[in-house]
A and B are shown apart, each in its own frame.
Chain A
């Protein structure tokens, strides 16, 4: 556990979470705590439930059993609580999911203007500052289709940041990118981590995990198999499943 985990209230608390897709049991008794400013990397083979887990955290997926608290608020069917939570939780998707009919700037200002009720000029200023931070302010007037994959993903990060979230979720943010674009997105995420954002990242980028993660969580077949510091996990895996996974990942890189 990192020193920052001593904060009184966890940013995310997942308690005995169970989820089924039809009869398929995809999350089994998953419990996890993420402290404020903590960076957690979730990894595991495909189908292990890692994406489903972080999609439950902002309720893109609903769970059937267990509890999730985000910033002290429990996720239930109460839509008002859900709105509050989604405002505080930013999400970056594997396939970017920018709005193709809006310009880059409009993508970034839409939610601040309509959800945060920010005046348009202020929202645009904020958006430009985040676009500058992800190093593409000159693309503001373009449409998503005119940008490369790496640029689109950086816009997606800027768009999420414009809501000034307390927590950022990353769902395999580099998996859909060409190899030469992965670094620019990872660099943006590293910068964000250094600024003290609370982050939960599903990713296979072990270099990134080593560099920024306070904790790595390994999932397989819907359950958390092992978790610990990147150093412990990578140098001294306790379970066969993690050893197997790491050997496969490292062979692939």
Chain B
């Protein structure tokens, strides 16, 4: 009775357990597992760290420590770039940006009137922010867009309300980039939805053929070619008795057509990604084609393709800079012309850095926004 034979029984109440992996945390543990887990990874970490620090320091040295932030004016009233010239090669000439930033931002828009495009820039940003919030996704949003666009048009053109008239040939800089990309994508997107649906139509072969032709023809041609055609060839074929559309409008149309074809293919991928059962369930309820698409298919298809959709949006935002080659004054063109001025010719790097930062801010915002949107949809409608 008292003789107890040891038995191989796992003692209840004292299970052997190891800490779950998430408990091994903290920056030091992270660094050990990710940066220094073997001698090779330690060597790579050290080498890359050295390069990054070295580049970082030399940029700070050039861009901050030895940089020239402003230059005095010559007696004639023009800036005197002597200080910049002295620092050339060792320090950045931010004074050049200080002198030309208004030209880069607004192009040749009359100097005294530049508060108008400035407001336009803020209106565009406000429009993006409001359109991005899901609680504003309702019918009134269309009204907000129309009102904002009318205000933007009024501010840019003027000619009424005591605002002096400013022709489109004088518009330039950031407003042009925003106009081309915003209208381009805002009009191309609904176009793309229709074309994508048309391409999948089984009951209307003629419609499908037109959509396929449109997509394949546009995709088979570089955007530059389309822009050239819109600026050079189009006026030749346009009936003489009609007023030829302005160059900016023609470029805008080319961008819309181009973006529409690309977006249509992205949307089509989403339509194909949905299970057949969703189409059948909507059919069985008798929703009919358009209600099926609007309430059941498109909302799901578009959620599936948010990443490639935003990818295309970002691409087109930057591609609007190609209008440079047909002489439209967008942000990049304005920057290029600012550098062409004799006293600032040596400081192109500074201008391109600033332009890159501006493009980056817009594109990075789009990217962050799309990630947020994806997360929101994932949590609200788990499959």
Contact = CB atoms under 8 A, between A and B. Distances in A.
Given A100-B381, A143-B382, A145-B381, A115 B277 contact: no
Contacts of A145: 381-383
A101 interface: yes
Interface in B245-300: 275, 277-278, 280-288, 291, 295-296, 299-300
Nearest to A100: B383
Interface in B295-329: 295-296, 299-300, 303
Contact of B281 (A83, A98, A101, A146): A98
A95 B281 CA distance: 10
A60 B381 contact: no
A21 interface: no
Chain B interface: which size bin?
20 to 34
A146 B380 CA distance: 10
A206 interface: no
A87 B281 contact: no
Interface string A91-118: 1010101111110000000110011000
A135 interface: no
A159 B285 contact: yes
Given A110-B295, A143-B381, A146-B382, A115 B281 contact: no
Contacts, number: 71
B286 A86 contact: yes
A101 B303 contact: yes
A58 interface: yes
A107 B381 CA distance: 13
A165 B303 CA distance: 32
Contacts of A89: 284
A148 to B, nearest CB: 13
Q: Is the interface of B mostly helix, strand, loop or mixed?
A: helix
B295 A60 contact: no
B285 A163 contact: yes
A115 B300 contact: no
A83 B277 CA distance: 18
Interface string A106-148: 0000110011000000000000000000000000000111100
Interface string B5-38: 0000000000000000000000000000000000
Interface string B184-217: 0000000000000000000000000000000000
A90 interface: yes
Contacts of A159: 285
A115 B381 contact: no
A143 B286 contact: no
Nearest to A95: B277
Interface string A64-102: 000000000000000000010011011101010111111
Interface residues of A, number: 27
Contact of A90 (B282, B283, B284, B303): B284
B287 A114 contact: yes
Interface string B45-56: 000000000000
B278 A114 contact: no
Most buried by A among B284, B380, B383: B284
Interface in B90-113: none
Given A114-B295, A115-B285, A97 B380 contact: no
B139 to A, nearest CB: 15
Contact of B284 (A60, A110, A146): A60
B303 A93 contact: no
Contacts of A86: 283-286
A143 B283 contact: no
B192 to A, nearest CB: 20
Contact of B285 (A95, A101, A110): A110
B374 to A, nearest CB: 14
Interface string A139-162: 000011110000000000001100
Contacts of B383: 100, 144-145
Nearest to A90: B284
Contacts of B285: 86, 110-111, 115, 159-160, 163
B287 A110 contact: yes
A143 B287 contact: no
A152 to B, nearest CB: 11
B287 A111 contact: yes
A60 B280 contact: yes
A233 to B, nearest CB: 28
A91 B286 CA distance: 11
Nearest to B303: A101
Nearest to A163: B285
Nearest to A82: B286
Contacts of A91: 281, 284
B277 A97 contact: yes
Contacts of B283: 58, 60, 86
Contacts of A98: 281
A210 to B, nearest CB: 28
Given A110-B295, A145-B382, A145-B383, A99 B286 contact: no
B291 A114 contact: yes
B280 A93 contact: yes
Nearest to B284: A91
Given A83-B286, A99-B300, A110-B287, 10 more contacts: A60-B283, A86-B283, A86-B285, A97-B278, A99-B278, A110-B296, A111-B286, A115-B288, A143-B380, A160-B285
4 A-B pairs with least C-beta separation: A86-B286, A97-B281, A97-B277, A145-B382
